[in-house]
Amino acid sequence: MTAWQRKRGRAAPWFLLPACALLAVFVVWPLLRAGWWSFTNADLLSPERAEFAGADNYAGLAGDARFQRAFGNTLLFALLVVPVQTVLAFFLALWVNRPEPAWRWLRGVFFVPVVVSMPVLAVLWTLLYQPEQGGETGLLNAALGVFGVPPQAWLRDPALALPAIAFMSVWQGAGLQMMVFLAGLQNVPKELLEAARIDGASGWQRVRHVIVPSMRNTIIFVVTVTTILAFRIFVQPYLMTRGGPGNSTLSLIQSVYETTFVSQDLGRACAAALVFLALVGGLTWLQRRLAREERE
């Protein structure tokens, strides 16, 4: 090792120090505090009076039917959204991946819902889903009425509310994943596509045997990010249904929010938040593990 390299090695910790300090203050310390409070009976308004309560908060969550419903709803929402949104975004990217300038406006159209505020979209879709009331019907029910389908209470029926919110979320988020897939498509070797075309491969065969293998890392990234975003669902059900009807759209984040700021039970809320963190972290690790095994 040269003297110049030894000098750079001694200076490296000083360059890492600001990032490590920020990480410690804004990530590590809050996590340690939340971990401690999760084992206490801490109250939101007086956390300094917290007393050690062992694993009571975690045991309480295991027997809490409302928390279990929130857990199941969030899991079902992710199962509905992640595969549909990923596949839809992938084929949208294939469709608009054309060199002609006229196609750029279509990319912008699909991306517009991503940049619009979610509360605004929640109000808009609540109006679209409106059932027949006082002689007025939402646009969706009016469109279905053309085909003879009777009006549905999309957000008031426990069986329809969560799928309706999932549909709205797929529509809102597909544009972001589409843009990521578009970036990935630019790295697909054109020589391979041209060779496959000369060999007589159909469009579907080129997608299956050339494009998908070439975009494996992009697909893994999109699935991972979409999964994390799906588990963070809060705004849509909170504004459109308040978690109802009958807790059918209650999410884990809303459950943590209400436990913290409505019930002011900080200890139990921290326990729920750490369970949520472990769930998302575990799923992300599992996805990356399976993807790495496939690559090997």
d(CA 143, CA 154): 14
pLDDT tens, per residue, the chain with 296 residues: 677 777 777 788 888 899 999 999 999 999 999 999 999 998 888 888 888 988 999 999 988 999 999 999 999 999 999 999 999 999 999 999 888 877 888 888 999 999 999 999 999 999 999 887 767 778 888 888 888 888 888 899 999 999 999 999 999 999 999 999 999 999 888 888 889 889 888 888 999 999 999 998 899 889 989 999 999 899 999 999 998 899 999 999 999 999 999 999 999 999 999 999 998 888 888 877 777 655 55
Domains of the chain by start residue, with CATH? 67-293 (1.10.3720.10)
- Note the pTM of the prediction, 2 decimals: 0.86
The pair of three-digit structure tokens given for residue 100, joined into one six-digit string: 């002609």
- Other CB atoms within 10 Å distance of the CB of residue 199: 9
- Other CB atoms within 10 Å distance of the CB of residue 129: 24
DSSP bridge pairs for 136: 133
Residues 248 and 162: beta-carbon distance below 8 Å: yes
d(CA 265, CA 255): 12
d(CA 12, CA 10): 6
Residues listed for the chain:
296
